Amino acid sequence: MELNKIYRHRFSPDDVDQMNAVWRVLTEAFFQKWVPENSSILDIGAGTCLFINNIKAQHRVAYDLNPETSKFCAPDVRFLGGDLIENIEFPMKFDCVFMSNFLEHMDDSDAVLKMLGSAGRLLRPGGKALILQPNFALTGAKYFDFIDHKVILTDKSLVEALELEGFDVEYLKKRFLPYTSKSALPRSAWLVCLYLKLPFAQWLLGEQTFVVARKSGGA
């Protein structure tokens, strides 16, 4: 698929600006607690760099097949991409890898396992994978409202895939964020902060699952 064409159609510049404001709050109020500021982190499928530009870390690297992603990277975020992840020479092993709304774009379940295996090989001993993933068990048929969604994943199948690739799941939040950036999650900073403090709102609106998994065998 032509990634540039898809994402230009899906997200306007205004959409990206609004999502960046949301992700600034999400990283500071939630995701940062999983990422030490002296760590190294790789954002796999970085897209418009909403996560990697806002997370605080000593070394930040964005990976994406779409070369246009490099245009969104902050000055101190290194971009690597334009090729399959297994073909790229990465500059280091990472403390954390992050994936958001990414695995559903794989061609099939074997490709999901292969991607998780590649992520594991890029982690230092004891490194962690942080995965934010739409959950078919919660979204139902609208999971396929996007033309490039291919693989069905639920919280249970995601956990199974991680375990098969040598990860131990340490944290699972089945209902976290709404399905898409165009869903009901408010876009002002204070309302996003309020949403994160209200478990009932997450239970009501959350259709994405968040998982933290440690690579087995690490200290």
So where are the chain's domains? 3-215
Pick from 170, 131, 185, 177: nearest CA to 153: 131
Whole-model pTM: value is 0.89
**CA–CA separation, 85 and 62 (whole Å):** 11
Condensed to tens digits (0 to 9), the pLDDT of residues 5-58 reads 444 444 555 555 678 888 999 999 999 999 999 999 999 999 999 999 999 999
Pick from 103, 112, 82, 107: nearest CA to 4: 82
Q: What is 18-62 written as a DSSP string?
A: HHHHHHHHHHHHTGGGGS-TTSEEEEET-TTTTTTTTS--SEEEE
- Residue 1 identity (one-letter amino acid): M
Instruction: Classify domain 3-215 at the CATH class level.
Output: alpha beta
What's phi and psi for 110, nearest 5 deg? Answer: -60, -40
| Residue where the block lists tokens 């009501």 | 204
Low-confidence winner among 1-10, 23-32, 55-64, 160-169 (lowest mean pLDDT) = 1-10
Q: For residues 210 and 176, is the Cβ–Cβ distance under 8 A? A: yes
Q: What is the pLDDT of residue 187?
A: 62
* pLDDT of 160 higher than 80: yes
**Cα dihedral sign, 197-29-191-202:** negative
186, HSE (Cβ side, Cα atoms, 13 Å) = 11
Q: Give the pLDDT mean for 93-116.
A: 96
Beta-bridge partner residues of 8: none
